């Protein structure tokens, strides 16, 4: 969060996405929030707009992504170097060293550093903490140990990476989680500090769309009236429980139950998911419209569906469950999962075991009682809905608590790694300042060079004028001397001709004498 020099209360508030280092492969910054927080593009825009309207100055720092265009965002976006890890992780990873970023944030002022990645961006935040003199808040919202397992080979290296992750989190001034389950997942990795649950809200308004608005979005798809429609929203990754959905649907098909299944989203595993769908013979019943970024379009799909299927034990928040609830759509979830944390079975949702037969049995029973779906959907709308306005107000209010504690000296006791990070941060800031000075000097030189060039052009014109004037004077003198020179030249020529004629007679006499001598001897 960038703060004006006055550092007012509004200047100390922070948007939930100030610092992040794990964006997905898309060149859009908002996709980072979608991947890590479950936020959509307009969600991120809404939150930032709300904060800026309240007087908060927000700067988003994120790794560089090839082809990214940040011009459309109503807030500053600072890009720092990244590694291309899209093939393994589906997103790029930032490099925790950016002198330019350090120098700029030091110059502009920062109230809070909020990181959403416990690895790279937290490394960077630790380097910057003393440079900008601001506390670090970290939100733990996804199971990063799974990403570590995908990116790092070997058990020893994985354990070392998890240890570094935990040390990073422990070094932050405050830790937030998006659910109690996320906090317990963090503890399972070895984290022993405190954490505060700060759930995410949704930007969808409560209530259903008009039927004509729903038809305008979904009317072009094979969705027969009277046929139950199931919906999944999220990245198409196997760890989202998609195999459970497909296997359960195959069971329903074998029982003669008609249905349509809609998968909204995209992901690394999408080709294999489509292939498995074909192998099960479900191609004609499963739709893949792709990713949906328009919020009204997404809302229309939630309103069109009869049941939301989300058997994921990976997600630590399940924001899509709250989105579905906003539209009165009940969800089928895995018992004990983070997404089901606030759900009461049979009241605000439906809980199953983590297997296909359990889901198939649940779907079969629910399709027999459509009135049950409607009543539970209404209860979910009332009990699970949390607006972004409320979530942001709650988070922003707590920023002040964090900042007050930091300003009063209630800070973590620094360790040797903290000192090392501080040194690196100071080095980065100094390097950035030198680089910025070089740019300013270069600019001045460029300006000075222009001045010199102007002087050179003026001198050239003056010199040219003098040369022309001197040339004309020289030509005049040449013309004046031409007659005299011609006369002297002619006289010289005549003298030379006379001498040549005199020498010619003498040469002839010598030649004749030479010929006579030859005749005597030959």
Cβ–Cβ < 8 Å for 90, 268? yes
> Is the same domain home to 134 and 26?
yes
Instruction: Give me the number of domains the chain comprises.
Output: 2
> Is the same domain home to 70 and 31?
yes
481 domain residue, yes or no: no
The angle, 0 to 180 degrees and rounded to 10, between the axes of the packed helices 211-218 and 295-304 is: 100
147 domain residue, yes or no: yes
> Is the same domain home to 152 and 21?
yes
Write out the residue range of the structural domain in which residue 198 sits: 10-202+390-412
46 domain residue, yes or no: yes
522 domain residue, yes or no: no
439 domain residue, yes or no: no
Highest mean pLDDT among 92-106, 379-393, 490-504: 379-393
| pTM listed for this prediction | 0.65
Pick from 196-200, 213-217, 345-349, 475-479: least confident: 475-479
> Is the same domain home to 278 and 365?
yes
**What pLDDT score was predicted for residue 366?**
95
* Pair of tokens at residue 441: 């000097």
Among 352, 386, 420, which residue terminates a domain?
A: 386
- Indicate if the pLDDT at residue 429 is higher than 60: yes
Distance CA 256, CA 309 (A): 20
C-alpha distance from residue 286 to each of 38, 126, 229, 260, 355 (Å): 23, 47, 10, 6, 20
> Is the same domain home to 235 and 114?
no
Strand segments (E) across 353-473: none
Highest mean pLDDT among 57-66, 102-111, 277-286: 277-286
- 8-state DSSP, 345: B
> Is the same domain home to 275 and 407?
no
164 domain residue, yes or no: yes
490 domain residue, yes or no: no
- 8-state DSSP, 221: S
- Indicate if the pLDDT at residue 399 is higher than 50: yes
> Is the same domain home to 261 and 365?
yes
Give the closest residue to 84 by CA, choosing from 98, 69, 63.
Answer: 63
CATH of the domain at 186: 3.40.50.2000
> Is residue 444 classed as helix, strand or coil in its secondary structure?
helix
Pick from 189-193, 322-326, 374-378: least confident: 189-193
Backbone conformation region of residue 473, classed left if phi is above 0, alpha if psi is from -120 to 50, else beta: alpha
Share of the chain above pLDDT 70, in %: 71
**Under 8 Å CB-to-CB from 378, ≥6 apart: which residues?**
328
Distance CA 428, CA 318 (A): 38
Burial call 209-248: b when 16+ CB within 10 Å, e when fewer = beeeebeebbeeeeeeeeebbbbbbbbbbeebbbebbbbb
> Across the chain, what does the average pLDDT equal?
79
- Indicate if the pLDDT at residue 511 is higher than 50: yes
**What pLDDT score was predicted for residue 62?**
81
> Is the same domain home to 99 and 86?
yes
> Is the same domain home to 282 and 167?
no
- Indicate if the pLDDT at residue 9 is higher than 50: no
> Is the same domain home to 193 and 277?
no
107 domain residue, yes or no: yes
* Residue pLDDT, tens place only, 239-272: 999 999 999 999 999 999 999 999 999 988 999 9
**CB half-sphere exposure, 458, CA atoms < 13 A:** 6
> Is the same domain home to 151 and 247?
no
> Is the same domain home to 191 and 69?
yes
C-alpha distance from residue 424 to each of 97, 418, 429, 438 (Å): 9, 10, 9, 21
**What pLDDT score was predicted for residue 14?**
31
438 exposure class (CB count in 10 Å sphere: 0-12, 13-18, 19+): exposed
């Amino acid at each position: 969060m960038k703060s004006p020099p006055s550092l007012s209360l509004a200047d100390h508030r922070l948007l939930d996405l100030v610092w992040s280092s794990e964006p997905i492969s898309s060149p859009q910054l908002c996709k980072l929030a979608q991947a890590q927080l479950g936020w959509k593009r307009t969600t991120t825009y809404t939150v930032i707009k709300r904060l800026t309207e309240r007087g908060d100055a927000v700067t988003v720092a994120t790794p560089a992504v090839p082809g990214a265009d940040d011009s459309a965002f109503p807030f500053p976006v600072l890009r720092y170097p990244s590694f291309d890890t899209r093939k393994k992780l589906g997103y790029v990873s930032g490099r925790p060293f950016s002198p330019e970023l350090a120098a700029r944030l030091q110059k502009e002022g920062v109230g809070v550093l909020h990181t959403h990645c416990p690895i790279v961006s937290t490394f960077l935040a630790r380097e910057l903490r003393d440079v900008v003199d601001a506390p670090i808040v970290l939100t733990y919202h996804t199971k990063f140990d799974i990403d570590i397992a995908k990116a790092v080979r070997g058990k020893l290296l994985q354990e070392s990476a998890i240890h570094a992750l935990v040390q990073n989190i422990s070094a932050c001034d405050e830790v937030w989680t998006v659910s109690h389950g996320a906090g317990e997942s963090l503890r399972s990795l070895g984290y022993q500090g405190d954490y505060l649950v700060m759930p995410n809200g949704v930007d969808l308004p409560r209530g259903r769309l008009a039927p004509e608005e729903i038809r305008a979005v979904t009317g072009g798809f094979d969705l027969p009236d009277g046929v139950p429609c199931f919906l999944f929203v999220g990245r198409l990754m196997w760890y989202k429980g998609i195999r459970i959905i497909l296997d359960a649907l195959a069971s329903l098909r074998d029982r003669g139950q008609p249905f349509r299944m809609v998968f909204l989203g995209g992901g690394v595993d999408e080709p294999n998911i489509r292939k498995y769908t074909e192998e099960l013979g479900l191609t004609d019943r499963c739709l893949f419209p792709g990713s949906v970024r328009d919020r009204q379009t997404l809302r229309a799909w939630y309103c069109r569906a009869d049941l939301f299927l989300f058997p994921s034990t990976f997600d630590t928040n399940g924001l899509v469950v709250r989105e579905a609830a906003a539209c009165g759509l009940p969800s089928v979830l895995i018992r004990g999962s983070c997404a089901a944390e606030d759900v009461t079975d049979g009241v605000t949702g439906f809980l199953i075991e983590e297997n296909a037969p359990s889901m198939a049995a649940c779907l079969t029973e629910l399709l027999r009682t459509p009135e049950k779906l409607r009543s539970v959907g209404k209860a979910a709308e009332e009990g699970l809905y949390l607006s972004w306005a409320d979530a942001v107000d709650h988070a922003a209010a707590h920023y002040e608590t964090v900042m007050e504690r930091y300003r009063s000296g209630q800070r973590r006791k620094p360790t040797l790694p903290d000192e090392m990070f501080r040194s690196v941060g100071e080095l980065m800031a100094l390097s950035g300042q030198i680089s910025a000075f070089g740019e300013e000097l270069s600019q001045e030189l460029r300006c000075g060079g222009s001045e010199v060039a102007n002087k050179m052009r003026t001198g050239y014109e003056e010199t040219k004028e003098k040369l022309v004037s001197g040339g004309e004077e020289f030509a005049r003198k040449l013309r004046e001397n031409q007659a005299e020179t011609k006369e002297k030249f002619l006289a010289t020529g005549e003298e030379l001709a006379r001498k040549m004629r005199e020498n010619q007679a003498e040469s002839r006499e010598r030649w004749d004498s030479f010929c006579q001598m030859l005749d005597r001897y030959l």
